[in-house]
Amino acid sequence: MAYSLGDILLDATTLQKRIGELAAEIDAAYPDTPQPLVLLTILKGSIFFSTDLSRALRNNVEFEFIAVRSYGGGTTSSGSVELVKDVSMQLRDRDVLMVEDIIDTGNTTSYLYDHIARHEPRSLRLATLLNKPDRRERDVRIDFCGFTIPNEFVVGFGLDMAGVYRNLPDIRLVQDDGVPTEQGANAIASS
Ligand code: PRP
């Protein structure tokens, strides 16, 4: 099928305002940490959320990164989670905040809770910019949530489709144009 960019779901101003509110919530939740909070950025989708969130926080943070993949080239989760790049810093006894762009089926988050818990952090919480509860397959605890969205495929502000559109400043819907094609990612057209 061919796809094109649809309407803006969340514009850049709305995103930044909510990120500021989330930062205040997060600061309040970590009033007294012995060491800086570790922002565990889940690559690649949460890059912009994580960096914007970090600059809105008053608490000191350290960055760590982990890369996982649950989607192939399409618009639905494959169900299995592949660890692409593991953490390298010591997380034992640290306050770790996992930063996600979106929770969809919950499979990625469920995997990451188990994976990071093995490092025995002092605390482990989750912030997500978007929550899409309609497609949930696993219950996952979300400590800080930006927006609950309907069951629509969205791109922009870190979220991709077949690798592109991450750099859009707004979060936009993807429209299925209903045209069969064998060109895969090349069939995506911008409007
Ligand atoms: C997306 C997103 C989450 C995950 C959520 O990542 O960033 O990590 O899917 O889906 P789930 O709740 O159904 O597991 P993706 O695997 O597409 O990798 P990316 O962040 O590199 O785009």
Predicted pLDDT of residue 189: 45
Predicted pLDDT of residue 190: 40
Ligand 1 atom, smallest distance to 77 CA: 13
Say what percent of the chain tops pLDDT 70. 88
Predicted pLDDT of residue 78: 58
Predicted pLDDT of residue 75: 54
Give the pLDDT confidence of 101-157 residue by residue, as tens digits: 999 999 999 999 999 999 999 999 999 999 999 999 999 999 999 999 999 999 999
Q: 175 pLDDT exceeds 50? A: yes
121 Cβ closer than 6 Å to some ligand 1 atom: no
- What would the DSSP string read from start to end of the chain? --EEEEEEEE-HHHHHHHHHHHHHHHHHH-S--SSPEEEEEEETTTHHHHHHHHHH-SS-EEEEEEEEEEE-SSSSEEEEEEEEE---S--TT-EEEEEEEEESSSHHHHHHHHHHHTT--SEEEEEEEEE-GGG-SS----SEEEEE--S--EEBTTB-BTTB-TT-SSEEEEEE-----S-GGGG-B--
Predicted pLDDT of residue 3: 85
Active centre residues (catalytic)? 104
Predicted pLDDT of residue 165: 96
Predicted pLDDT of residue 180: 59
Structure tokens that stand for 48 in this block: 């912009």
According to DSSP, the residues that pair with 67 across neighbouring strands are 43, 85
Q: Residue 34 C-alpha to ligand 1 middle, in angstroms? A: 31
110 Cβ closer than 6 Å to some ligand 1 atom: no
What is the residue with the minimal CA distance to atom 21 of ligand 1? 44
Across the range 43-62, mean pLDDT stands at: 97
Q: Which of 6-10, 134-138, 175-179 has the lowest mean pLDDT?
A: 175-179
Q: 15 pLDDT exceeds 60? A: yes
9 compared with 77, residue with greater pLDDT: 9
Q: Residue 32 C-alpha to ligand 1 middle, in angstroms? A: 31
Predicted pLDDT of residue 177: 81
